[in-house]
Every structure is written in C-alpha cells, then in structure tokens.
Amino acid sequence: MPESKISAEKWMGELVEFLRSEPGVSAVRIDPTAHKVAVATFGAVDLALLAEKLAATIAAVDARIASRSAAAAPAGYTLRREGEAFVLARDSCVTADKMRPWREVEWLNRGAPDRAEEPEWKKLAVLAAVCGAGGIAGALTQHYLPAAGWLSWIFFGLGLVAGAWDAAIDTWENLRKREIDIHFLMLIVAAGAVAIGARSEAVLLLFLFSASGAMEAFALDRTQREVGALLKSAPKRAVVVEADGGEREIAVEELQLAQRVRVKPGEAFPADGTVVSGKSASDESALTGEAQPVEKGKGDPVFSGTINLWGALDFDVGRLPSESTLQKIIRLIQTAQKLKAPSERFTDKFGTGYTYAVLGGATAMFLVWWLGFGLPAFTNTPEVRSAFYRAMTLLVVASPCALVLSIPSAILAAIAWGARHGVLFRGGAAIEKLADINAVALDKTGTLTTGELAVVGYESFPPGRETEVMELAYALEAKSEHPLARAIVRDARARGVREVDVGDFRNIVGEGVKGSHEGAQVLLGRRELLEAGPLAGWAQKLPAAPADLSEVWVIGRDMVGRVLLRDQIRSESRAVLAELKRRGIFTVMLTGDRQHAAEAVAKELGLGDVRASLTPEGKVAAIMEFRAAGKKIAMVGDGVNDAPCLAAADVGVAMGARGSDAALEQAEVILMQDRIENFLSAHRLSRRARTIIRQNLTISLGVVVVMVIATVVGVVPLAIGVAAHEGSTVVVCLNSLRLLFGKNA
C-alpha cells in the first residue's frame, strides 16, 4: 500500500476514534493551512473538556495531515473537502452539520515553538557574536602569546562551534533527506581551512555566514510582524446580549451567527457584523491602513479586530470569527508569503543544481592545480598556496548564498510593506506581474465611483414647488434603510429641510412607499407609480432623467416632483487615472451601465476607452481582446460580476477587503478600504521590487563571476573570498529591506 494512503488512513483513524468517543460531536473540520480546528455539536457540551480531549488527537493528526493525502472514510462516516479544510462527519443529512453550531478549538501543535520564544534572528545573532569574539580572542592570543598555542585553539574552537552550530543542524536535517545545500558547502570549507591550518579564515567564514543568516532572519521577522500585529488585535472574549437585556461573557470561539454582541469604548470588535444600536467610530487602521476613524451607526458594518473608539455599540454577528475579515486577511498574507514568484522558483531549482556544480568544479580545479600545474596538494608556503586551499576559496566565492536570497528577501519585504499600507498581494507572482502591466481595465460602480448615490437636484411639475418635494421625500424616506432613502435623508438634513408629519406609512413592494399628509395620500417611488395611476397619460409626457442620473418620483395632493441622484465619482479617481497615463499605462472602463452614463463618467475622468452595457461574459471578452492585442492588463473591480474578468486578466485587483467573496477569491491584489489610490502604491511597489530584485541579482552574480575568475587566476586569499561572498549576502538583504522601510506610495 502506498505510504501516502497509509498516512491518510492513520490520521482519519485518529479522528474517527475521537468521534466515536464523543457522542455530542457530529463532525470535525480541520484546516491545516489556516491551522484551524472546529467541531459541530448538538446538545449541551463542555467545550473546555472537549478541547482537552481533542488536543491529543490534533497533535497526532498534525504531522500526518500535512501531506494532504486522502483515503476512503470508514463505514458510517463521510469525508469531504471544503476549500483547504477536511471535514470528517457521521453519516447524516447533508445539511445537518451546517445547521448545528460549529465551535472553534485551539490547534495545540505539540511540535511548534512556544509563542513567547525569542525570535530566530536573535539566537543567530548571539551565535555570530560568540563566533566573532572567539575568532578575535584566538587571533590576538596567537599573535601576542605564541607559546600558549593551546589557548588560541580553545578560542578558535569556541568560535568554530558557535559559528557552525545552526548550519550543522540544517545540514544534518538535509542529509537525512539525502539533500545538500549552501550550509553543507560552508561546513566543508570551514573544515578544509582548519585542516590546512587556516583557523582564522575558517572562523571568519563561519562568523560572516552566521551573521548574514541572522540578517536574513531579521528581515523575515520584520515581514512577519504585520501578521503578528493583526493576530494580537484579535479579541479573545465577547460580551453577548441576552434576550432579557442581560450580558454574558463568552470566548470568541463560541460566538454564533445572529448573536447580539455589545462592545464598549476602547474594546475590539470580536467578529464581523452589523450595528443595530448605538453610535460611535472605529479605528480600522490595523485592518485597512485607513488612518481616520470611521463613523459607525445603525446599519453600518463593523469588523473583527478593529477598535471601538468612544460609544457603546450593539451589533449582530454576521460571520463566524474564523471567517471574519481579519482572519481572511491574515490567511491571505500567510498564503502570500508561502507562494513563490516564477523567478523565485527558478532560483530554488537553480540553487540545488548549482551547489552540486560548485562541488564538482572545486574538485576538478583541485586536480588541475595539483596534477596539471604541479601545485602542492595540501601544504601551504608563504610563496605558494596549495591546490586544496585554492579549492576551498573557490567553494566559498562560488557559493550561491546571495543569489538564493536575492528574490525572496525582496518579495517578502514588499508583501510586508503592502500589508502595512492597505495593499495585499497573493504571493510573489502578483508582484512580478503587476510590474509588467501596460493597461488597466476598471469597473465603474464601486471602483471609479463610490457606489453611494447622492442627491444632485429636485424638480417639481409645475415648477416652483421644489421645497414641498424635498419635505415629502424626506418624510417618506426617513424610516427606510434603502440606499436611495439614505441619500435623500442625508441631503435633507444637510439642507435643514423641515420635517412634516406623514401617517399611515406603508411599503409598496418593489415600487416605493406611501402615506398620508394633511388628509391626502402621498407617494414616493419609481416612474411606474405615475404610469399605473390616473396620471398615466400625463406622466408619459414628463421628461426622462438624464442618462447618468437616477430618479425618485414624489406625488402629493396637487403636485408631482422628482429627486435626481447620481453615483458619486471618487475624488481620487481623476488623479489616479492621470498618474496612470503619465506612467504610460492605457486605461479602459468596463461596465454594465448604460452607454450615456458610462461616457459621462469617462469624459469627466479622462479615460482612454469605454466599453458599456457589458455582461460578465462581455467583460471577459473585452479582457481577452486586449490580451490578444499584446496588452498586459490588470482588472480592477469589486462585485460578483467582476470575478470572471478578474480571473481572465493578467492581474486581478479587488477593491476592498469588504468586496464580494467571489471577487476576493479571484483577485491577486486586494486594495483595502476601497481606496483606488492604493493601486498606484501597489504598482509603484511592484516596480521597485522588480528593480531591487534585478539589483540583487546583479550584485550576487557579479561578485560570484569576479571572485571565481580571480580565484582561478590565484590572486585571492581565502579571507578576501569569505569577506566578498558574505558581504554580498549582507548587501542583498539590506537592499531588500529598503522596500520595507522606504516610501513606496
């Protein structure tokens, strides 16, 4: 039986045994990518006791499930995939587990390091410091106390052990898998240098190697801090409001959909949801990069991990904590850091083969210097360096440390900067591809415009009674939560419109609302309200609204009027499009709106091309047309209807972490807080990352070529070779960190 199938049956057996022992659990869901575990329960359960019993099972399953192997579930159980997660359930109705409450349980990974453990770079820095101190002490002792040779050996030995410690651990793990890498090369060179008496050079090599390793780990740690900050912002407890108005504090993992939660000033929202009462503002900077507080009132969305600033709010849970916007962003960043760019994958493949080539080349040159040129094999003299010494130097200068770090260090730094400034990349490939685009397609509604309607005017028929139109529209829409109603109410309050009394308020499904005012019936709604009543003949003669405007009709006792509204263009859109044009990037609008409305927006913004009245299929066809013409195109959108063309474009860019799940699923770049100007930051960042990657490759390959030639000629001592090789590695890491600390907006 294949080993993968055996592994799958083992981890499934562990879960089956757990389900058999826990009659109150109907299913277990394990997501190894997000490191999440949840159980579907029925009846009352002791979650703390359940978590304790599940801990051993999780630990046993952890290593085995990593292979993502699958096998047939045993009789009485079903196994299914939900995205990256596995769900093992008892045989039952398909919807049974969905109806039961899912409760998250902490994934207790026994083999994982403790969260309070010191960062890796600090350990490497300590080892490098001990190595350097040992080398300096050994060199000073050797020079000033030549009679005490044993003492210099002790200092050199201490430096060698400290410098080789981490490399030896990695090398041993790789050798067990029958692989070799750069660490193996460094240990071979250090051992060879000691064998020929070049102890100081050996310590110098290991010091610089361990110091560059610490630098690399530091750069990686800096990129991980953004995710760590998000994780820390996730609250652990929530206050649930009971039906009788009482409060009960529970663990966030126990929250259920539609539960009412109360958040006091200064506290973090424990889940995504919608405000039902209270008024406040939230600090969403950690989530979206938006520095300004965002006002919150009834009907407004709130997001897990953001901070409630000044007023108490009650909200209804709209998503389970595991599916919140915060967790979604964390998973996006974590996944992005694991996904490699095409050039990065190339260097990975190149690195292994190159290591073998360097070993073979150094061995061949040793034989050439020894047998071909007659140099001494191992004996060094002041006049002539041995063939073995030169071979060790060649191994050092030809090792691809800096080359292997050239791309991933820049990619990780770029991802981290983006996460901190409201731009999420789905891996290095997105960064590389975005740097190459020469065309951008943009959706209109919600992308170039805000997606929020605003009143632009009032009309009455006959003219002169616009104030009455405003008053009736305000009164009829004051109790509605429809987007049109919110726009009318917001405008009326801004104008200070008088509030009039309207009684017998009723909804007319699909058409509008009606009520009574001063003994007469009043109506508000679509044009069809006029055309269906006694005013039908007269209504057909009323002028149509301009193509770029929406209209709401108001009918009073002896008056008819309308409110005109327009989807507001984002104030930043014009500047963004102008900057894209300056960068030589062609822009086009792809929208399902009417041609006249689309052209009006395009004319105002200065767009290069407009494609209107498009279905989702039409948008995809337009994207493919541009690609066939040789354009490398990015698509920016936010809705479900944009998802197909986001997938069809060279780079899909979604507006906001609040966008549709379909759009987020297909996008490779996500612009937080619906800020279109972040696209410019993303594009500039990708170009800077590409430039820095090219610089890193030039530095690393240039140093290798120059030093290999110099070593073959025989003019480079081992110490210089070590300094050049490790120095280029440090320079590459520092160059990449410019992306993390520099200004990319």
Q: What digits encode the pLDDT tens for the residues 446-455?
A: 778 876 778 8
Band of residue 268 on the pLDDT scale cut at 50, 70, 90 = confident
Cut 0.75: pTM above it: no
| Cα 121 from Cα 132, distance rounded (Å) | 16
509 vs 262 pLDDT, higher one: 262
Q: What digits encode the pLDDT tens for the residues 196-232?
A: 677 777 787 778 777 767 766 665 565 555 455 555 5
Query: Of the candidates 475, 488, 563, which has an alpha carbon nearest to the alpha carbon of residue 520?
Result: 475
Q: What digits encode the pLDDT tens for the residues 143-185?
A: 788 777 788 888 888 988 888 888 888 888 878 877 776 677 7
Scanning the structure block, which residue is given the tokens 């890498």?
181
Helices (H), 526-636: 528-531, 536-539, 573-582, 595-605, 616-628
Residue 112 has pLDDT above 50, yes or no: no
Q: What digits encode the pLDDT tens for the residues 402-445?
A: 777 777 778 878 887 887 787 888 777 788 889 999 999 988 87
Scanning the structure block, which residue is given the tokens 């960062």?
119
| Cα 449 from Cα 569, distance rounded (Å) | 4
For residues 75-88, average pLDDT:
68
Residue 683 has pLDDT above 90, yes or no: yes
Band of residue 67 on the pLDDT scale cut at 50, 70, 90 = very low
CB 468 within 8 A of CB 559: yes
| Cα 738 from Cα 744, distance rounded (Å) | 10
Cα–Cα distance list, 311 to 275, 286, 308, 704 (Å):
12, 20, 7, 62
Please tell me which of 29-38, 131-140, 535-544 the model is most confident about, judged by mean pLDDT: 131-140
Q: What pLDDT, on the 0 to 100 scale, is given for residue 437?
A: 92
% of the chain surpassing 90 pLDDT? 7
Tell me the pLDDT of the chain averaged across its residues.
76
For residues 62-88, average pLDDT:
60
What three-state secondary structure class fits 501?
coil
Band of residue 7 on the pLDDT scale cut at 50, 70, 90 = very low
Residue 713 has pLDDT above 50, yes or no: yes
Band of residue 110 on the pLDDT scale cut at 50, 70, 90 = very low
Band of residue 316 on the pLDDT scale cut at 50, 70, 90 = very high
Backbone angles phi, psi at 251, to 5 degrees: -70, 145
Residue 339 has pLDDT above 50, yes or no: no
| Cα 294 from Cα 285, distance rounded (Å) | 10
Q: Encoding tokens for residue 544? A: 């149509």
Helices (H), 368-427: 387-398, 401-420
| Cα 137 from Cα 145, distance rounded (Å) | 11
Band of residue 111 on the pLDDT scale cut at 50, 70, 90 = very low
Strands (E), 419-556: 423-425, 439-442, 449-461, 503-508, 512-517, 520-525, 550-555
For residues 242-256, average pLDDT:
84
Got the DSSP string for 305-367? T-EE-SS-EEEEE-S-GGGSHHHHHHHHHHHHHHSPPHHHHHHHHHHHHHHHHHHHHHHHHHH
| Cα 399 from Cα 357, distance rounded (Å) | 10
DSSP designation for 369: I
Q: What digits encode the pLDDT tens for the residues 546-559?
A: 766 778 888 887 78
For residues 616-645, average pLDDT:
82
481 vs 590 pLDDT, higher one: 590
| Cα 208 from Cα 214, distance rounded (Å) | 10
What three-state secondary structure class fits 456?
strand
3-state helix, strand, coil in the chain (%, to 5): 50, 20, 30
Note the residue count of the chain: 745
Q: What pLDDT, on the 0 to 100 scale, is given for residue 116?
A: 45
Residue 695 has pLDDT above 90, yes or no: yes
Across 48-52, 474-478, 531-535, least confident range: 48-52
Band of residue 488 on the pLDDT scale cut at 50, 70, 90 = confident
Q: Encoding tokens for residue 690? A: 């590409």
Cite the active site residues.
443
For residues 250-274, average pLDDT:
86
483 vs 438 pLDDT, higher one: 438
Q: What pLDDT, on the 0 to 100 scale, is given for residue 66?
A: 45
For residues 360-365, average pLDDT:
87
Band of residue 660 on the pLDDT scale cut at 50, 70, 90 = low
Long-range residue pairs from 54-57, CB within 8 A, at least 24 positions apart, any chain: 54/18, 54/28, 54/105, 55/108, 57/14, 57/15, 57/17, 57/18
| Cα 507 from Cα 525, distance rounded (Å) | 10
